[in-house]
Each structure stands twice: as structure tokens, then as C-alpha cells.
């Protein structure tokens, strides 16, 4: 994971330091800044800023009932990837209301790791206790805790390995937070205790449905009570997204560095490069859209595509395939590659359309989609997974099928975005409104609060 941050440093260095500090470019950097600020004031501000949007007519933090509760969070790893960062967000929301929070990382790198070290220290600074995954302290905390949250399917390995004969006593107070939708997670060794926990919390309805089917059909086990909790955008991301000066400056800088003019139309796929994320099919669609424009002699601005998430070292074969395609079709001046980075905000500020081309079952949720919508970007997405619960087809973007069948529809949608300027801008605005209505941090807090309340009630009645 250290690779992410080092790979992005040369690029960041080109940015004036001021912007790094002022506009907190990446979610990760944003996190660091947020970690080091005073937790209680941070939280108060959050709710003051958001009170006008809270529909329930209450000024109280929905998580207030967690005050003084002991919560054990078990993460399968500690890295800058989506799962652990999300659990850390929850740790800070809980700390913000005065809960006692203990963190365990089940799989640690064997060698000291800069990222793990820095994340642990951010947690310690915010009053989260970090304890070893194995040993008596972990067992005692699990026994004493009001609530144990396991993060991702893989974290299930921790139960037997550490708790051993105590497992049955802990299960009634376990909430299992699941963020994945791939076959290899349906291993008995990971999920055999799933039917006996208090509840499962899953990021989208599609993913919840998929887990229900697969556990039943593959493993013959039944899911526990399952709660769908859509995620929300952090307050820090929203601050950049709603700051027009910051956005303009970021847009100028990124476009200049890519060689894209202000009037050009920039379509972006922002995902780690891999076949599952569909950058290959996106480039085919993009090439087709250029051909369509030429054939029909359409008068539109120059179209550009940017792939943010390149990783030549980890994805050499696929990455080479992408570059070869671009060279073969002679569209090098139209297609840009940016290395994997957590600094997505500058790109979100610079593009005109987000392309979410995840294949097969699609994204479990797809946080980049709500992030792009916060920046008033319309989305061209595959009709799969969480994307279907975020993007309203025809209103906040257009959906196309996953797979090869989707290549031409996506090409046509790209052309439509170029020819229907008003429509495109309106879609961006509608996307922003949708985010403000349901994909903000305070919405996520409210949804999580309902689940935690229910799980506490159930585990109390069982003991």
C-alpha cells in the first residue's frame, strides 16, 4: 500500500504547497488533517453545519446513545484502501459522541510499514485504543464490549483464531460490515459464523441480495438480519466540492499538466486499473465515440479521456494492453494515464464526466460515484451493483450494460454528453442534489445509528 503514496508524490510536488494545505486534496490527506484536529469540536462543527439538512427535526447527533459504550472494531488489515478507511471513519464518529473505541488489525505486515504506523498514530491521537489482535487483552475486550464490529468477510478468520471457545459468547453482539462481492469471499473459514451474529451491514441492496443468494446456494448457510447502509461523502470532500475557487484552480492545474484545454471535454475513469474495472472497454467506447463524431461530422469540442489509477508494476499485462490499444488507434493525444493516487479531488474538479465502467457484478457501492456527483459531474455507469442505486438513468447520468454489449451504448452516451451540453450540465446538478439528499456523512451516521441501536437491543435481550 505504501506504493500508492510514494507513486503520487512526484505529482503532488508540482502543486503549490498552499493548495495541499488549503484544499486538502485527497481523501487520505483530508483524513490526516481531520485526525489531528480536536475530535469534539470537529464533530460539533459537523452537526452545526448540517442541522438544516437533517429532516428528523433533531439537533442531536444520531449516535449520541453510543456515549460510554465500549465498541471493539476488528479490521482485516490497516491500509489506505476503502474498507479500513471506512471503519476508521466510524471509529471517529463513535469517538465524537464519547464511545470507548478499541481497534484491532488482524493482518499486519511482517515488516514495519509507514502507512500502518501513521494510521495507528492518527487513531491514538483521536483516543482510539489500538490493541494487538492476539492475546488476552483482545479476548477480554471482546468479552466486555457492548458491540463488536467485524469489517469485511475476511475479518471472520479472527474469531476462531483468537477467541477460540469464547466465540459463542461474542457472536450475539457482533455486527458484520461487508464491502465485497466476489466469489472467493464465500469461504466457510471466513463466514461460517455469519448466521449466528446479531446482524450484517452491507453497502448496497444488490450486494445484500447477492450475499443472501450465494451463502444459501454455495454454503448452505443463512444470512443473519441484514441492513443495507449506503455510504456518504466526507465533510472534507464536500468542502472542496463546494468551493468554486478551489475547483477552478485545481481544474486549471490538472488540465495544464495533462495537456487538456479548458474548452475540451474530459471523460475520466477513476479506479485502480484492472480488467474488473473495465478501463479496456471504456477505451474502446471512447475510440468508437471519436469515430462516430467524425462520421457524423458533429461539431463538438475535442474529447479527451483520462485513466486515473495506472499501476504498471502491479498490472503490467493489462496496463500494456491499454497502452498498446491507444498507440494502435493513434489516440495518444486524446488519452491520458495518471498513476494510482488517493488524491482524487483535483481530478474530480477537472473532468466533465465520470465513467464508472466496473464489469460483471459491478461495484459493491462505488464511493467515487457519489464523490464525482458532489462535484456536479454526470456519470456514465454500468447497470450493475451499487451504481444502479446511486445513478438515476436519464437524470443524473446514463447507464449502459456491462460487458462487450455495453461498448457501443457507452460510445453513444459519450457522444450524447458532448452534443447535449445543457442536458449534461443539468445532470451534474441533479447528481449534486441527489448527493445532498442522501449521500452525505450525516445520512450515513443516521443510517448506522439505526442499525447499532437495533443490534444493541437484540444483544441485550439475548444475554
Residue closer to ligand NAG, measured from CB, 23 or 210? 210
Q: Which of 11, 185, 196, 205 binds ligand NAG (CB under 6 A)?
A: 11
Residue 394 binds ligand NAG, judged by CB under 6 A: yes
Q: How far is the CB of 82 from ligand NAG (least distance, A)?
A: 21
Q: Which of 54, 86, 399, 407 binds ligand NAG (CB under 6 A)?
A: 399
Residue 392 binds ligand NAG, judged by CB under 6 A: no
Region near ligand NAG per CB under 6 A, out of 4-12, 70-78, 244-252, 365-373 = 4-12
Q: Which of 1, 22, 292, 383 binds ligand NAG (CB under 6 A)?
A: 383
Q: Which of 15, 286, 398, 432 binds ligand NAG (CB under 6 A)?
A: 398
Residue 262 binds ligand NAG, judged by CB under 6 A: no
Handedness of CA 254, 420, 240, 201 (dihedral sign): negative
Residue 6 binds ligand NAG, judged by CB under 6 A: no
Residue 393 binds ligand NAG, judged by CB under 6 A: yes
With a CB cutoff of 8 Å and minimum separation 6, the contacts of 87 are 73, 75, 149, 151, 177
Q: Which of 51, 58, 64, 313 binds ligand NAG (CB under 6 A)?
A: 313
How far apart CA 233 and CA 444 sit, in angstroms, is: 9
Q: How far is the CB of 8 from ligand NAG (least distance, A)?
A: 7
Q: How far is the CB of 9 from ligand NAG (least distance, A)?
A: 8
DSSP states along 159-179: IIIIIGGGHHHHGGGEEEEE-
Residue 312 binds ligand NAG, judged by CB under 6 A: yes
Q: Residue 355 in contact with residue 398, Cβ under 8 Å?
A: no
Residues 19-78 that bind ligand NAG (CB under 6 A): none
Residue closer to ligand NAG, measured from CB, 304 or 443? 304
Q: Identify any residues that bridge with 356 across adjacent strands, giving them in sequence order.
A: 381
Q: How far is the CB of 209 from ligand NAG (least distance, A)?
A: 4
Residue 10 binds ligand NAG, judged by CB under 6 A: yes
Q: Which of 6, 68, 213, 460 binds ligand NAG (CB under 6 A)?
A: 213
Q: How far is the CB of 106 from ligand NAG (least distance, A)?
A: 28
Q: How far is the CB of 251 from ligand NAG (least distance, A)?
A: 19
Residue closer to ligand NAG, measured from CB, 13 or 330? 13
Phi-psi region of 241 (alpha: psi -120 to 50; beta: other; left: phi over 0): alpha
Q: Residue 198 in contact with residue 173, Cβ under 8 Å?
A: yes
Residues 323-382 that bind ligand NAG (CB under 6 A): 339
Q: Identify any residues that bridge with 393 across adjacent strands, giving them in sequence order.
A: 397
| φ and ψ of 226, to 5 deg | -120, 130
Q: Which of 210, 282, 347, 365 binds ligand NAG (CB under 6 A)?
A: 210
User: In the numeric block, which cell numbers belong to residue 30?
Assistant: 483530508
Q: Which of 7, 70, 221, 392 binds ligand NAG (CB under 6 A)?
A: 7
User: In the numeric block, which cell numbers belong to residue 92?
Assistant: 471517529
Q: In what order do the strands lie in the sheet with 70-75?
A: 129-131, 100-105, 70-75, 147-151, 174-178, 199-202, 226-228
Q: How far is the CB of 124 from ligand NAG (least distance, A)?
A: 31
> How would you classify the pairing of strands 129-131 and 70-75?
unpaired
Handedness of CA 351, 32, 244, 96 (dihedral sign): positive
How far apart CA 265 and CA 416 sit, in angstroms, is: 12
Region near ligand NAG per CB under 6 A, out of 95-103, 267-275, 291-299, 392-400 = 392-400
Residues for the chain: how many in total?
A: 463
Residue closer to ligand NAG, measured from CB, 6 or 36? 6
Region near ligand NAG per CB under 6 A, out of 14-22, 40-48, 192-200, 208-216 = 208-216
Q: In what order do the strands lie in the sheet with 397-400?
A: 335-339, 303-310, 265-270, 353-356, 379-382, 397-400
Residue closer to ligand NAG, measured from CB, 107 or 257? 257
Residues 142-201 that bind ligand NAG (CB under 6 A): none
Closest among 418, 419, 422, 442 to 430, alpha carbons compared: 422
Q: How far is the CB of 229 from ligand NAG (least distance, A)?
A: 18
Phi-psi region of 431 (alpha: psi -120 to 50; beta: other; left: phi over 0): alpha
How far apart CA 414 and CA 288 sit, in angstroms, is: 9
How far apart CA 31 and CA 237 sit, in angstroms, is: 10
Residue closer to ligand NAG, measured from CB, 10 or 112? 10
User: Contact positions toward ligand NAG, by CB under 6 A?
Assistant: 7, 10-11, 206, 209-210, 213, 312-313, 339, 383, 393-394, 398-399
Amino acid at each position: 500500500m505504501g506504493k500508492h503514496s510514494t507513486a503520487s508524490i512526484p505529482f503532488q510536488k508540482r502543486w503549490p504547497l498552499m493548495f495541499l494545505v488549503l484544499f486538502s486534496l485527497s481523501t487520505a490527506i483530508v483524513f490526516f488533517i481531520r485526525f489531528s484536529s480536536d475530535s469534539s469540536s470537529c464533530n460539533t462543527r459537523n452537526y452545526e453545519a448540517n442541522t438544516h439538512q437533517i429532516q428528523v427535526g433533531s439537533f442531536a447527533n444520531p449516535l449520541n446513545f453510543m456515549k460510554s459504550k465500549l465498541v471493539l472494531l476488528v479490521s482485516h488489515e490497516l491500509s489506505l484502501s476503502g474498507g479500513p478507511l471506512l471503519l476508521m471513519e466510524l471509529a471517529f464518529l463513535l469517538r465524537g459522541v464519547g464511545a470507548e473505541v478499541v481497534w484491532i488489525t488482524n493482518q499486519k505486515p511482517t515488516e514495519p510499514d509507514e502507512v500502518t504506523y501513521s494510521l495507528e498514530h492518527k487513531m491514538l491521537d483521536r483516543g482510539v485504543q489500538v490493541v494487538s489482535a492476539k492475546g488476552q487483552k483482545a479476548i477480554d475486550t471482546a468479552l466486555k464490549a457492548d458491540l463488536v464490529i467485524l469489517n469485511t468477510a475476511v475479518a471472520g478468520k479472527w474469531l476462531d483464531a483468537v477467541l477460540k471457545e469464547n466465540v459463542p459468547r461474542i457472536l450475539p453482539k457482533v455486527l458484520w460490515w461487508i464491502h465485497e462481492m466476489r466469489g472467493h469471499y464465500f469461504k466457510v473459514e471466513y463466514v461460517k459464523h455469519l448466521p449466528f451474529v446479531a446482524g450484517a451491514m452491507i453497502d448496497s441492496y444488490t450486494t445484500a441480495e447477492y450475499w443472501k443468494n450465494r451463502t444459501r446456494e454455495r454454503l448452505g448457510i443463512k444470512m443473519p438480519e441484514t441492513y443495507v447502509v449506503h455510504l456518504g461523502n466526507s465533510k472534507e470532500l464536500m468542502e472542496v466540492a463546494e468551493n468554486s475557487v478551489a475547483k477552478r484552480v485545481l481544474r486549471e492545474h490538472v488540465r495544464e499538466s495533462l495537456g487538456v484545454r479548458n474548452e475540451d471535454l474530459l471523460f475520466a475513469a477513476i479506479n485502480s486499473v484492472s480488467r474488473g474495472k473495465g478501463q479496456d472497454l471504456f477505451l474502446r467506447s471512447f475510440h468508437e465515440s471519436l469515430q462516430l463524431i467524425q462520421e457524423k461530422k458533429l461539431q463538438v469540442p475535442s474529447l479527451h479521456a483520462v485513466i486515473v489509477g495506472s499501476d504498471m508494476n502491479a498490472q503490467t499485462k493489462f496496463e500494456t494492453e491499454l497502452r498498446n490499444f491507444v498507440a494502435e488507434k493513434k489516440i495518444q493525444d486524446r488519452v491520458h494515464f495518471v498513476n494510482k493516487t488517493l488524491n482524487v479531488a483535483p481530478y474530480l474538479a477537472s473532468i466533465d464526466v465520470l465513467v464508472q465502467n466496473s464489469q460483471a457484478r459491478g461495484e459493491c457501492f462505488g464511493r467515487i460515484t457519489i464523490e464525482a456527483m458532489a462535484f456536479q459531474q454526470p456519470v456514465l455507469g454500468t447497470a450493475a451493483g451499487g451504481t444502479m442505486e446511486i445513478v438515476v438513468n436519464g437524470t443524473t447520468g446514463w447507464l449502459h450494460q456491462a460487458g462487450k454489449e455495453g461498448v457501443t451504448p457507452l460510445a453513444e452516451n459519450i457522444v450524447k454528453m458532448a452534443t447535449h451540453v445543457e442536458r449534461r450540465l443539468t445532470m451534474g446538478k441533479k447528481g449534486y442534489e441527489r448527493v445532498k439528499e442522501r449521500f452525505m456523512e450525516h445520512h450515513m451516521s443516521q443510517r448506522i445509528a439505526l442499525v447499532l441501536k437495533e443490534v444493541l437491543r437484540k444483544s441485550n435481550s439475548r444475554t
